């Protein structure tokens, strides 16, 4: 059954009487109000939103097409059915182009009139349903947006709390370590210096104190990175020389099997040599730790386009594919992986530090690994200055 409120506009008083009567007989749920001019109709439209408007086109003063234009502006959701005389096809076309829902020819055929009005009311009903669904969707989208904002704020707060905690722990441990070393009469093991070679201690058999110091330095670097306090001191560096001195120092400490392949002899890049050495050492230390004692490790330095690639390849058990996306996350350790030779396991920060340090140079850390087939970690560095030279 159709329901709704209809406004009927016509300057013909006979039609204004006959049509509402016919509607009340055939569509009992429909209420009809009438206006004998477009001006009167306009005033009524300001007061009330009708479900459908049926209007004559030709009326003295304002005509049905002008009325249609106003309804389109003020109540675009209200279907307007226009009525016009026989033979006035151009007017009918203008009506449709102007956005009329339908048009009827006079003299009005009652069945056509009822069918058209019924469709117009149904259309209004569908439009209302769509509007309601849209509003419900908008409400839902808004509630989702609020939820995301709330969760983001919570995450930010807990992340900031974690950063503050990490920074505090690193700071407290550093001062405790300085105190212990003072009591033991051990000189301060330094933070990375200008050539970064103090870092070449991971390969050497470490004393418990040295190991503790390395872990604390890693924690401190992680804290610097997470609070954007890690500053790079970049300078134009010879990458062949940089790799060679890191490897020499590493070999002097471990005496392990290591092959260094230089595929391009003149590779210079603007980098922080301390941090790049530190990243390379972390990769070397891992290659040693996570592969069997004595198995060969190869380091390759090569150019690919505008990039230099320093790769460290080992013959270890490799990393399962599903773990690869997590490699380089802070504190991440592959479940079940154990140290196979040399130094003891760390905190899961070595690759995080290597990755972020390389990334801060505008580069990236790539991993290729297959279980049983070893792993290759590659530092990809831009040969064009990616960080400011000091
Ligand atoms: P960790 O201090 O545990 O060595 P890293 O960040 O250096 O931390 O490495 C993270 C994890 O990635 C390690 O715990 C290990 O499981 C895995 N891993 C790193 N390097 C290798 C490698 N060369 N071969 C196999 N697994 C590796």
Compute the distance from residue 236 Cα to the ligand 1 centre, in Å.
Answer: 30
Compute the distance from residue 252 Cα to the ligand 1 centre, in Å.
Answer: 23
Mean pLDDT of 241-251: 90
Mean pLDDT of 52-79: 95
- Contact residues for 42 (Cβ-Cβ < 8 A; gap 6+): 62, 67, 70
Q: Which of 333, 338, 339, 342 to mutate to test the pocket of ligand 1 (most atoms within 8 A of CB)?
A: 333
| Of 179 and 70, more confident | 70
| Of 255 and 215, more confident | 215
Helix, strand or coil, per DSSP, at residue 4 = strand
Residue 250 pLDDT > 90, yes or no? no
Do 272 and 242 touch, CB atoms closer than 8 A? no
Give the total residue count for the chain.
390
- Contact residues for 266 (Cβ-Cβ < 8 A; gap 6+): 240
Query: Residues 295-319: pLDDT tens digits?
Result: 999 999 999 999 999 999 999 999 9
Residues having CB within 6 Å of any atom of ligand 1: 282, 286-287, 290, 314, 316, 319, 327, 332-334, 337, 345-352, 375
**Phi, psi at 39, each rounded to 5°:** -65, -45
**Phi, psi at 318, each rounded to 5°:** 80, -175
The whole-number pLDDT of residue 177 equals 87
Compute the distance from residue 5 Cα to the ligand 1 centre, in Å.
Answer: 74
Q: Which of 280, 287, 329, 334 to mutate to test the pocket of ligand 1 (most atoms within 8 A of CB)?
A: 334
List strands edge to edge, sheet with 52-56.
29-35, 3-9, 52-56, 80-85, 102-106
Mean pLDDT of the chain: 90
For the chain, the straight-line distance linking the first and the last C-alpha, in angstroms and rounded, comes to: 83
Residue 266 pLDDT > 50, yes or no? yes
DSSP code string of 16-32: HHHHHHHHHHH-TEEEE
Q: What percent of the chain has pLDDT above 70?
A: 92
Residue 207 pLDDT > 90, yes or no? no
Compute the distance from residue 348 Cα to the ligand 1 centre, in Å.
Answer: 7
Of all atoms in ligand 1, which is nearest to the CA of residue 327? 12
Residue 255 pLDDT > 80, yes or no? no
Nearest-CA residue for ligand 1 atom 27 is 290
Residue 213 — very low, low, confident or very high, per pLDDT cuts 50/70/90?
Answer: confident
The whole-number pLDDT of residue 342 equals 65
Compute the distance from residue 6 Cα to the ligand 1 centre, in Å.
Answer: 76
Residue 241 pLDDT > 50, yes or no? yes
Residue 95 pLDDT > 70, yes or no? yes
Query: Residues 134-186: pLDDT tens digits?
Result: 999 999 999 999 999 999 999 999 989 999 999 999 998 988 888 888 888 76
Six-digit token string for 188: 């301060």
The whole-number pLDDT of residue 336 equals 80
Place of tokens 């773990």: 323
Q: How far is CA 126 from CA 51, 75, 363, in A?
A: 11, 15, 56
Helix, strand, coil % over all residues of the chain, rounded to 5: 50, 20, 30
326 DSSP assignment: G
Helix, strand or coil, per DSSP, at residue 259 = strand
- Residue 34's nearest CA partner among 44, 26, 22, 47 is 44
Six-digit token string for 71: 């309804």
Sign of CA dihedral 50, 91, 58, 21: negative
Compute the distance from residue 320 Cα to the ligand 1 centre, in Å.
Answer: 12
């Amino acid at each position: 059954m159709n329901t709704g409120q209809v406004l009927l506009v016509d300057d013909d008083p006979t039609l204004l009487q006959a049509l509402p009567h016919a509607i009340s007989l055939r569509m009992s749920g429909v209420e009809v109000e009438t206006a004998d001019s477009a001006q009167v109709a306009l005033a009524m439209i300001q007061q009330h939103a009708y479900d459908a408007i049926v209007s004559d086109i030709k009326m003295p003063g304002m005509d049905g097409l002008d009325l249609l234009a106003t309804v389109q502006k003020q109540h675009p959701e209200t279907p307007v059915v226009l009525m016009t005389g026989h033979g006035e096809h151009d007017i009918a076309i203008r009506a449709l182009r102007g956005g009329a829902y339908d048009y009827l020819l006079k003299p009005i055929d009652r069945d056509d009139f009822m069918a058209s009005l019924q469709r117009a009311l149904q259309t209004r009903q569908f439009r209302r349903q769509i509007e309601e669904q849209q509003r419900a969707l908008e409400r839902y989208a808004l509630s989702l947006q609020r939820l995301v904002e709330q969760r983001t704020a919570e995450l930010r707060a807990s992340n900031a709390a974690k950063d503050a905690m990490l920074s505090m722990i690193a700071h407290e441990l550093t001062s405790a370590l300085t105190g212990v070393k003072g009591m033991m009469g051990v000189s301060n093991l330094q933070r990375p210096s200008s050539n970064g070679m103090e870092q070449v201690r991971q390969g050497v058999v470490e004393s418990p104190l040295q190991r503790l110091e390395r872990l604390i330095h890693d924690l401190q670097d992680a804290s610097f990175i997470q609070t954007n306090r890690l500053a790079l001191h970049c300078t134009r560096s010879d990458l062949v020389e940089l790799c060679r001195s890191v490897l020499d120092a590493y070999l002097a400490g471990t005496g392990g099997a290591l092959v260094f392949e230089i595929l391009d002899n003149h590779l210079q890049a603007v980098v922080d040599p301390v941090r790049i050495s530190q990243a390379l050492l972390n990769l070397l230390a891992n290659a040693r730790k996570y592969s069997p004692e004595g198995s060969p490790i190869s380091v390759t330095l090569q150019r690919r386009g505008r990039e230099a690639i320093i790769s460290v390849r080992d013959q270890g058990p490799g990393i399962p594919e599903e773990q690869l996306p997590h490699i380089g996350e802070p504190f991440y350790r592959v479940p079940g992986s154990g140290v196979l030779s040399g130094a003891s396991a760390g905190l899961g920060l070595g690759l995080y530090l290597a990755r972020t340090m390389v990334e801060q140079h505008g580069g990236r850390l790539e991993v290729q690994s297959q279980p049983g087939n070893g792993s290759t970690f590659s530092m990809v560095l831009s040969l064009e200055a990616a960080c400011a030279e000091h």
